[in-house]
Structure 1
């Protein structure tokens, strides 16, 4: 059990480290952009830029990880303070430090990148946890690899168009700094749109190569024809697509430049057969292929997990259906015997049975119920057994305090109580005592049950009931329970300890 809790803590820590990854990647990217655009060369300058940006983006990191853990309402509040209120206050206060030239302050570009990647991450993660959200087709398309890459490429088009719009005749005045003047986007909007449609068309061509690689080369050829056919088809695509796409890019007005001026083709010239063009296409395919394969594997893994979860749910339902008939038939037999003798206990038995069946039908179909409701069910069951057994059976019980704070899978503990009565009470006419105690320490529920041993049935004591119990515990509470069964001084003792979530 301790080993199981230890592994849970390790997974918890790893999960929180992974949550930070998207923002860390964006902050590092922004630091690189600033370092290169300022044409710095010393590692001390690079480390200084990174340290200052990470310090200023700390509220982003905190808001991001908190929003990934909190409920939706609290997540929206924390996200708003971290990504909206804080940047506004920071931009206002930074004016007081305008003379501090060595500082690289948080700007609009950094905020937009961090906000976008955090929002996309949170939507995708919350979508994975909510079936209703996942049923939305538009959200599925956004959080897919195709949607993410499309947004990244379009975002790059917006940024690069803003950079080009910031400078006067940027293609004729190369190299130019990677900076964006937001005000010029609005003051020279027509010029910005002119750059935007050309850069967007450029990225659309690259996006089409990605789609060809994923849905034709990988899904069709690699999956069905093997590696050799995939490599051959990739080589053919490389040879044909490179000069074709380069010639299309050269048709863009932005590349209508004097001889000797670098254009937007990988080779930087009008030669559609430039080796640099082929090299760029090769690396584009070489980098995108393993990424696509990784996402395809993740998608297949998610589908396998969903199928496994459906199988587990079906198995739990079947196990639960195996429990109720045994109890029902025994009780009906007792009710039949009481009606034959016209016992005054018959109406009370019918009422107790109705309460138990009502709980089994309505609450028993849920995945979790309040521990209080489950305890009440056990009390009703024992009350019914007292009617059935009369003075022949005594129950020594103990019930947990603050049970309303915890949740449990329904109709789980009853299996141990049924087993104790079936093998300790029903086979004998002697007076017997059944011990059934429930206690809670922190969030661990401990059940202790003891009943006399009927030696004639000892070999069959662990029948269908306990076999089902072990299987349900393994499915519902993996690494979160221990079940011990042993004989002690002519008593059959069962001890179950399990970690319960709070309501």
Structure 2
């Protein structure tokens, strides 16, 4: 019990940590920006800023957590209260109360960072679902490495353009405070646009280095010729590419006579620090690219394996016992020759079995009531052949329509009992089928007598089929026990059921 409780606590903590990871990153980023604007090197000041931002952002953190626990209009209501009404209340209090405004660190910038983190987490959850709708495919492309880096570059350019436009003569007053003044930004909007296109050019140059590293150096050189060739190609790229990129940066009008936007901060395109900067870009981008490429490759392999598993499951589900079918048709033929009144009922039961196998067997889940009805039709047909020598005892649970499971699982145990226990027997035999539900767990026990000369060393194709399907469909959620006890064959299946979804 204690181990189960500890495991559950660990799972809840992992889910909570995953939910809050992006939000914590946004708060840490806002804390760093605040620390940098204060020009403080004190760790205690940073921790104080971080703690106050967490305190002021607590309603947003709670709303973010609860939103992904709720569904439908409840989730929308929680999001509206946490991410819209609460920030509006905070900003209104800052306008009317100067004391609160001086104390509060919660700003529009911090709110936008938290909002972006929450929306990004939600989009990543959609991508993780892996469905193939157009919307999901669009979100997947939006979260590709290229798209994310492009978005980050644009955000970086907009942010620094706004900071420069909020500062008087920013190039000559380095270092500047990373503060955005909305009033000054509106007045200097022309300067904001002028700074924006120049920062975008610098961002595009950095993305060009990433693009060359990913599609030329890694995919063409590293993948085909190995590490040594990749290292030499990187060296060539640094030596040849650095002066070219530096020349483009020097064309920007923001540069002044005594200071430039090169890492060397001068007009020397061959300065060693410029080469080191390009080398650093390659060194930082390479593990990110390799990790992303490995993730994409693993995802593609997983999708292929999933399709193969689905194909295998379909083949397993569509296996109809030909021996049982031929025997039933022979019995039906005998009934029609004698004009027995049971013939129409037998035809209907056989049609129900085939219909269930062909149509319902294609579904991922069926109700437990449907599966038990299928077993009852099967037992009715078996009763025509073996009623004189087989004593059958069955017990089925009530309220079976509320649970669902994969189709054509339980019937395998019943077929196995008749195939190995009843059909080869020349004397009186019995089959006991008992199905119960405890909580959300189905417990099926199927026992049958064995013929005196039976050799039962192998489990048979049917049980192998069942074991394979259980492994694919219910990993870690089932337990199958098969054993021979004296002259009796005993099987027990425990399976975690799923509640039926509302139509």
Q: Given the two structures, how large is their TM-score scaled by the length of structure 1?
A: 0.92
**How far is the alpha carbon of 1:415 from its aligned partner?**
0.4
Could you say which residue in structure 2 is the equivalent of 1:250? 250
> Aligned partners of 2:185, 2:402: CA distance in 1, in Å?
56
Are 1:404 and 2:418 an aligned pair? no
Deviation at 1:30, TM superposition (A): 1.2
User: Where does 1:87-126 land on structure 2 (aligned, <5 Å)?
Assistant: 87-95=87-95, 98-100=98-100, 103-126=103-126
- Equivalent residues in 2 for 1:66-81, closer than 5 Å: 66-71=66-71, 74-81=74-81
Paired position in structure 2 for 1:58: 58
Q: Which residue of 2 aligns with 1:443?
A: 440
Matched, 1:178 2:178: yes
Query: What's the offset of the Cα at 1:12?
Result: 6.2
Structure 2: gaps of 5 or more residues: none
Q: Which residue of 2 aligns with 1:377?
A: 374
Within 2, Cα distance between the matches of 1:412 and 1:9? 33
Say whether 1:287 aligns with 2:284. Answer: yes
Query: Which of 351, 370, 387 is residue 348 of structure 2 equivalent to?
Result: 351
Q: Which has the higher contact order (CA 8 A, sep 6+)?
A: 1
Query: What is the alpha-carbon distance in structure 2 between the residues aligned to residue 427 and residue 6 of structure 1?
Result: 51
Q: Distance in 1 between matches of 2:483 and 2:49?
A: 65
1:264 aligns with 2:261: yes
Residue 198 of structure 1 corresponds to 198
Q: Deviations over 1:173-194 (max 9, x none)?
A: 2221101123433343222111
Query: 1:343-387 CA deviation, whole Å, 9 max, x = no partner?
Result: 222111111111122211221101112222222222222233334
* Distance of 1:297 and 1:116 partners within structure 2: 27
- The 10-residue stretch of structure 1 (127-136 or 442-451) with the greater mean CA deviation from structure 2: 127-136
Residues 147-182 of structure 1, C-alpha deviation per residue, up to 9 Å, x if partnerless? 111111111111111111111211122221101123
What is residue 428 of structure 1 aligned with on the other side? Answer: 425
Contact kept in structure 1, 2:127 and 2:136, CA below 8 Å: no
Q: TM-score scaled by structure 2?
A: 0.92
CA contact (8 A) 1:166 1:180 kept: yes
Deviation at 1:123, TM superposition (A): 1.3
> Which one of 459, 464, 467 corresponds to residue 467 of structure 1?
464
Structure 2 residue aligned with 1:320: 317
Corresponding residue SS for 2:480 = strand
Match of 2:85 in 1: 85
Kindly indicate whether the alpha-carbon contact (under 8 Å) linking 1:451 and 1:493 is maintained by their aligned counterparts in 2: yes
Contact 1:369 1:409 in 2 (8 A): yes
More deviation in 267-276 or 466-475? 267-276
**Structure 1 residues 353 and 182: CA distance shift in structure 2, 3 A:** farther
1:13 is displaced (CA, Å) by: 4.6
Identify if the C-alpha distance between structure 1 residues 217 and 60 changes in structure 2 by more than 3 Å, giving closer, same or farther: farther
**Paired position in structure 2 for 1:304:** 301
Match of 2:164 in 1: 164
Partners of 1:9 and 1:467 lie apart in 2 by: 36
Q: What is the alpha-carbon distance in structure 2 between the residues aligned to residue 68 and residue 204 of structure 1?
A: 36
Cα distance per residue 1:58-99 (max 9 Å; x no partner): 333333344445546654444333322332233224446531
Work out the CA distance in 2 between the residues paired with 1:246 and 1:81.
49
Within 2, Cα distance between the matches of 1:29 and 1:306?
36
Cα displacement (A) at 1:391: 4.8
RMSD between aligned alpha carbons?
Answer: 2.5
Note closer, same or farther for the CA distance 1:144–1:398 as it changes in structure 2 (3 Å cut): same
More moved, 69-78 vs 188-197: 69-78
Asked whether the equivalents of residues 163 and 179 of structure 1 are also in contact (C-alpha less than 8 Å), the reply is yes
1:4 positional shift: 11
State the SS of the aligned residue for 2:495. strand
SS at match of 1:475: helix
Alignment of 1:339 onto 2:336: yes
Q: What is the match of residue 502 of structure 1?
A: 499
How many angstroms apart in 2 are the aligned matches of 1:327 and 1:64?
A: 56
Provide the secondary structure at the position in 1 that maps to 2:435: strand
Between stretches 285-294 and 404-413, larger displacement belongs to 404-413
Segments of 5+ residues of structure 1 without an aligned counterpart are none
C-alpha distance in 1 between matches for 2:133 and 2:77: 20
Worse-superposed segment, 366-375 or 380-389:
380-389
2: CA distance between counterparts of 1:310 and 1:290? 30
Aligned length: 499
Aligned pair 1:363/2:363, yes or no? no
Contact 1:420 1:451 in 2 (8 A): yes
Q: What secondary structure does 1:459 align onto?
A: coil
C-alpha distance after superposition, 1:111-145 (max 9, x if no partner): 11222232123213212314233676533321111
Task: Tell me whether 403-412 or 287-296 shows the greater mean CA deviation.
Answer: 403-412
Of residues 391-400 and 472-481 in structure 1, the stretch that sits farther from structure 2 once superposed is 391-400
Looking at structure 2, the residues matched to 468 and 154 of structure 1 have their Cα atoms a distance apart, in angstroms, of 55
**Corresponding residue for 2:234?**
234
Q: Give the secondary-structure state (helix, strand or coil) at the position aligned to 1:168.
A: coil
CA contact (8 A) 1:267 1:277 kept: yes
More displaced 10-residue stretch of structure 1: 9-18 or 192-201:
9-18
CA distance in structure 1 between the aligned counterparts of 2:184 and 2:336, rounded to whole angstroms: 92
